[in-house]
A and B are shown apart, each in its own frame.
Chain A
Amino acid sequence: MTVSLSCQGLSRSFGALTAVDGVDLAVEPGSRHALIGPNGAGKSTLMGLVTGALRASAGTVRLGDEDITRMSVVRRARLGISQTMQHASLFTSLTTAENVLLAVQRKQGRVGLLSRRRAELHERVAALLARTGLSGRDSVVVGALSHGERKQLELAVALACEPRLLLLDEPAAGMAPEDSGRLVTLIEELSADVTVLFVEHDLDLVFRIATTVTVLHLGRVLLTGAPQEVRASAAVQEAYLGSGRDEPLFTERAEA
């Protein structure tokens, strides 16, 4: 069942620094919601508050009807939240296939002493690797993968959890163009049952995939709206570029 994400008055401070300040965010079920903003805007902190890695100083986070503000990372994961990290967070001494297997076997149920339904699990692993373009690399240890391959594996692991809410933190960062093309296809092909919230700096990508865009600036929500709206907003331009400049932030590119 498709689920929504909503944050009300969400705040997080680190000592004197308020990284996220009273953020209200509503992510519609099944939407592709982008979170953008200049460096230091609080995007990663906000993501951390949603996944449970960081505890909120104030405010609430709701997944559908459930208040998950006080829930641990583990519980939120069991409720169907899955994520990729900015710097690929993988199991470095294990192989590509084993990384995905860990997610798949958890999804399947209790992880015990006896491997049940091994063939089924391995099929799922193979399918996920194929989707993310890693088929030939299944027995390669993560340490030997390239940066781009690791990002792909990150995504495979996140998808293996069959999430209801998928959080992507700069999924295209450092990727070569052909890989980011595949990433776009992957996200576009995601079932409409999955709600996606992603942080991205690559604005072309954002405007291709996103159904809604939220702009964060200095820990606060500057604007939430359809991509076109955000593109045209003067306030957003100012946040990114400062007020002294005139040239447009987003240029229209002729579609190739």
Chain B
Amino acid sequence: MNAAMNPAVTRVAVPAVVWLGLAAAPVFLAPYATTTLTRMLVFGLLAASLALLVGITGLPSLGHAAYFGTGAYAAGWFAKNVSAQAPLSLVVAALAGGAAAAVTGWVAIRASGVFFLVLTLAIGEIVLQLAETWEPVTGGSNGLYGIPAVTIGGAPVSNAGYLYWFVLAVFAVGFAALWLVARSPYGTALRGIRDNEERMRALGYPTALYKYLVFVVAGTVAGLAGGMLATQQRLVTPADLGFTTAALALLAVIIGGAGSLWGACVGAALVIIVRDSLGPTLDGHGPLVLGLVFVLVVYLMPRGVAGVRLRRGGAP
């Protein structure tokens, strides 16, 4: 019997190979490719946090970039004005994202369905406006630049490879948190809420609280991803909080299959590749292509973009 075919083996082997590959990457790749991979990790974590919200809990958020951006600005400001010592600015980023999600989520969760969607869109826009006008802190429409490189034990990390490993470590922490939630009993309950919230309430689950908690968790991890962005790019602009970022993240989630955390990461990688390769040729008309892609994706998905893959019971 072929041991490779055993599903239990593949369930452990495949992720192991992937993680090893990710860890070894900078050894084999040129610095530019390593930097791209770093950006994929950042965006991947954002997409995965959104997948927890949209795919697993069924809360369609169009404003998730708000928490990403909040984390990015918080980390950038902290690194510039307080300390660039790792992992402080990242902790600040996660907390900032979580706090923003806690405040806005309290209102958002009261809405359901289309109201929720509209509300998250509004939240995203409002946070964007805030970023553009709060000049002293965010640098206004020019953005927050001159963010110092993160330091580990006093030494700044500026080499692309070392920076990648640092970001990978943070990615692993964030992804692990999401994964833990998704496969826990709480995660199963979230899927229950997605499928039939009324029934969950009839079983005695306080669904509003559960939804609020996952919203905050997703916001915290998105904030962490934002911190990773600030660390890697050393520049944060309002566009990072904007609708395009939120839309691309959602696209990544959809491409990857709405209920899958890993899928969202793969989707994110694809989005980055496409954007990077198409970017220069599009002459600034990126939104046009993005719009067309959305229209196509919606038409091409017969069971709807949040159509859940029928799982064989198990992996998130």
Task: Give the B-binding residues of A (Cβ under 8 A).
Answer: 51, 53, 72-74, 77-78, 82-83, 89-95, 97-98, 101-103, 105-106, 111-115, 139, 141, 143, 157, 161
| Interchain CA distance A90-B191 in the complex, whole Å | 12
The A-contacting residues of B in range 282-316, CB under 8 angstroms, are 308, 310-313
Are the C-beta atoms of A112 and B184 separated by less than 8 Å? yes
Residue B186 is within 8 A (CB to CB) of chain A in the complex: yes
Minimum C-beta distance from B290 to chain A (A): 29
| Interchain CA distance A105-B207 in the complex, whole Å | 15
Q: A98-B313, A114-B184, A139-B313 are in contact. Are A91 and B203 (CB under 8 A)?
A: no
**Partner among B184, B203, B311, B312 whose Cβ is within 8 Å of the Cβ of A161:** B203
Name the residue of chain A whose CB is nearest to the CB of B259: A93
Are the C-beta atoms of A91 and B181 separated by less than 8 Å? no
List of A residues within 8 angstroms of B310 by Cβ: 93, 141, 143
List of B residues within 8 angstroms of A114 by Cβ: 184-185
Residue B276 is within 8 A (CB to CB) of chain A in the complex: no
List of A residues within 8 angstroms of B194 by Cβ: 93
Residue B199 is within 8 A (CB to CB) of chain A in the complex: yes
| Interchain CA distance A200-B207 in the complex, whole Å | 30
Are the C-beta atoms of A74 and B205 separated by less than 8 Å? yes
**Partner among B185, B192, B198 whose Cβ is within 8 Å of the Cβ of A94:** B192
List of A residues within 8 angstroms of B85 by Cβ: none
Minimum C-beta distance from B210 to chain A (A): 8
| Interchain CA distance A120-B60 in the complex, whole Å | 35
Are the C-beta atoms of A73 and B202 separated by less than 8 Å? yes
Classify the secondary structure of A's interface with B: mixed
Are the C-beta atoms of A83 and B202 separated by less than 8 Å? yes
Are the C-beta atoms of A77 and B201 separated by less than 8 Å? yes
Are the C-beta atoms of B191 and A111 separated by less than 8 Å? no
Are the C-beta atoms of B203 and A157 separated by less than 8 Å? yes
List of B residues within 8 angstroms of A98 by Cβ: 188, 191, 313
Are the C-beta atoms of A111 and B196 separated by less than 8 Å? no
List of B residues within 8 angstroms of A157 by Cβ: 203
**Partner among B180, B192, B203, B308 whose Cβ is within 8 Å of the Cβ of A113:** B180
Are the C-beta atoms of A91 and B186 separated by less than 8 Å? no
| Interchain CA distance A194-B204 in the complex, whole Å | 18
Are the C-beta atoms of B203 and A102 separated by less than 8 Å? yes
| 12 additional A-B residue pairs with CB within 8 Å, beyond A51-B202, A103-B203 | A74-B204, A74-B205, A77-B204, A101-B188, A102-B189, A111-B189, A112-B185, A113-B180, A113-B185, A113-B186, A139-B312, A157-B203
| Interchain CA distance A98-B313 in the complex, whole Å | 9
Minimum C-beta distance from B215 to chain A (A): 16
**Partner among B184, B188, B196 whose Cβ is within 8 Å of the Cβ of A90:** B196
Are the C-beta atoms of B192 and A102 separated by less than 8 Å? yes
Name the residue of chain A whose CB is nearest to the CB of B193: A91
4 A-B pairs with the lowest CB-CB distances in the bound complex, closest first? A77-B204, A91-B195, A113-B184, A93-B308
| Interchain CA distance A53-B197 in the complex, whole Å | 12
Are the C-beta atoms of B186 and A112 separated by less than 8 Å? yes
Name the residue of chain A whose CB is nearest to the CB of B312: A139
**Partner among A83, A94, A111, A112 whose Cβ is within 8 Å of the Cβ of B205:** A111
Name the residue among B189, B201, B207 with the largest chain A CB count within 10 angstroms: B201
List of A residues within 8 angstroms of B312 by Cβ: 139
Minimum C-beta distance from A108 to chain B (A): 9
Residue B200 is within 8 A (CB to CB) of chain A in the complex: yes
List of B residues within 8 angstroms of A74 by Cβ: 201, 204-207
Are the C-beta atoms of A92 and B195 separated by less than 8 Å? yes
Name the residue of chain B whose CB is nearest to the CB of A88: B199
| Interchain CA distance A80-B181 in the complex, whole Å | 28
9 sample A-B contacts, Cβ–Cβ < 8 Å, listed by A number: A74-B204, A89-B202, A93-B259, A97-B313, A102-B192, A112-B184, A113-B180, A113-B186, A141-B311
Name the residue among A82, A93, A161 with the largest chain B CB count within 10 angstroms: A93
The A-contacting residues of B in range 245-287, CB under 8 angstroms, are 259
Q: A112-B184, A113-B184, A113-B186 are in contact. Are A93 and B191 (CB under 8 A)?
A: yes
Are the C-beta atoms of B186 and A111 separated by less than 8 Å? yes
List of A residues within 8 angstroms of B196 by Cβ: 89-92
| Interchain CA distance A173-B312 in the complex, whole Å | 30
Name the residue among A90, A95, A105, A111 with the largest chain B CB count within 10 angstroms: A111
| Interchain CA distance A106-B189 in the complex, whole Å | 9
Minimum C-beta distance from B196 to chain A (A): 5
Are the C-beta atoms of A91 and B199 separated by less than 8 Å? yes
Are the C-beta atoms of B199 and A90 separated by less than 8 Å? yes
Name the residue of chain B whose CB is nearest to the CB of A81: B202
Minimum C-beta distance from B240 to chain A (A): 30
